[in-house]
Amino acid sequence: MTATRRVALITPAGGYVGPDLARVLAADGHDLVLGWSTPALVAELEVLGATVIAVDGLGAEHEAATYSKLVQAALGHFGRIDAASMFSGSIIRGSFLRRATSEHLDSLAKGLLNAPFEFLKAVSEPMVEQGSGQILIFTSSSGAKVTPGAPMYSGLRAGANHMIRNIAAELAPYGVQLNIAGTNYMDFPQYWDAMGGEDPGTRSKLEAQVPMGRMGRLDELASLAKVFLDGSSGFMAGQVVNFDGGWSAF
């Protein structure tokens, strides 16, 4: 089957910014290939007019076979991939002196370094062959500055950002745009789990660290991401755009 609409691959589609990003792209005329989705989301996207391929039976987020299966589903059904986006990794906090272990470091590296590496290996090949494509990787703006209480997480995110930018330099001559959205202080369940739970005291303390004085919304992040994926902006590559209410800028 040959695609007549733009085709976007999103993973994980069932959590974090995945559902919101899928909605804005479906409403903009994209067909979708989704990893780790939900039946309710698929039904919602189909109402918006999108053809949706939800891929089941995926492996771990750091395994090459996981992303190969997603790419093959996209190529098998649509014949191309115009845009691709992913987020990976978990947050492990704690000081270097009191809590950090090599086991924690190895566990974090699988999600923060290996997963985006394997994702990019899988999605970049068909894009290079077709001579076009847009990729957006969600990382963390903690990779832009020293982050007390999260030295391993911050350090590995910084390493991931640098790796991705190097890959972006290789892809750009082939017409493939690869960029990064680094986030922090986002209002979603996994963030609150990592922070020790959402209660008024915790929320107020965190909001006080953000220049804009509030947490970020996932629908706002999806609106930003759309610009990097919808084909409307074709002249940006290798950039890290931090979405954190100004925390990393000042």
Give the per-residue SS3 of 152-197: HHHHHHHHHHHHHHHHHHHHHHHCEEEEEEEECCECCHHHHHHHCC
Secondary structure class of 82 (helix, strand, coil): coil
Asked if pLDDT for residue 225 goes beyond 60, the answer is yes
**More confident: 191 or 47:** 47
23: how many CB neighbours lie within 10 A of its CB?
18
Provide the pairing of β-strand 176-183 with 133-140. parallel
pLDDT greater than 90 at residue 145: yes
* pLDDT of amino acid 94: 82
Q: How confident is the model over 146-157, as a mean pLDDT?
A: 94
Residue-wise pLDDT tens digits, 48-72? 999 999 999 999 999 999 999 999 9
Beta pairing class for 176-183 and 83-87: unpaired
> Is residue 105 scored above 80 in pLDDT?
yes
| Residue 138: how many other CB atoms lie within 10 Å | 22
- Per-residue confidence (pLDDT) for residue 197, from 0 to 100: 85
- 81: Cβ contacts below 8 Å, ≥ 6 apart: 7, 8, 9, 33, 71, 74, 75, 123, 126, 127, 133
When pLDDT is averaged across residues 135-164 and rounded to a whole number, the result is: 96
- What is the SS3 assignment for 216? strand
The rounded distance, in Å, linking the Cα atoms of 157 and 139 is 6
159/164 Cα distance (integer angstroms): 9
Q: Write phi, then psi, for 37 (nearest 5 degrees).
A: -100, -170
Rounded distance, CA 72 to CA 65, Å?
10
Contact 194, 91 (CB under 8 A): yes
Domain spanning 6-243, CATH architecture: 3-Layer(aba) Sandwich (3.40)
Q: What is the mean pLDDT of residues 114-118?
A: 98
Give dist(CA 55, CA 61) in Å, integer. Answer: 14
Average pLDDT, the chain: 96
Report whether pLDDT(93) > 90: no
Residue listed under structure tokens 């990003």: 21
At 160, the amino acid letter reads A
240: tokens are 């890290």
Is residue 6 predicted with pLDDT exceeding 90? yes
- Residue with token string 């703006």: 141
As a whole number of angstroms, the distance between CA 155 and CA 175 comes to: 30
> What percent of the chain has pLDDT above 90?
90
Among 102-106, 161-165, 176-180, the least confident range = 102-106
Q: Please tell me the predicted confidence (pLDDT) of residue 61.
A: 96
Could you tell me the two tokens for 25? 């792209």
pLDDT of residue 3: 58
Are 36 and 14 in contact by the 8 Å Cβ rule? The answer is: yes
Percentage of the chain beyond pLDDT 70 is 99
pLDDT for residue 2: 52
What the block records as the tokens of 163 is: 């790796």
CB 11 within 8 A of CB 86: yes
pLDDT score, position 233? 96
Asked if pLDDT for residue 92 goes beyond 80, the answer is no
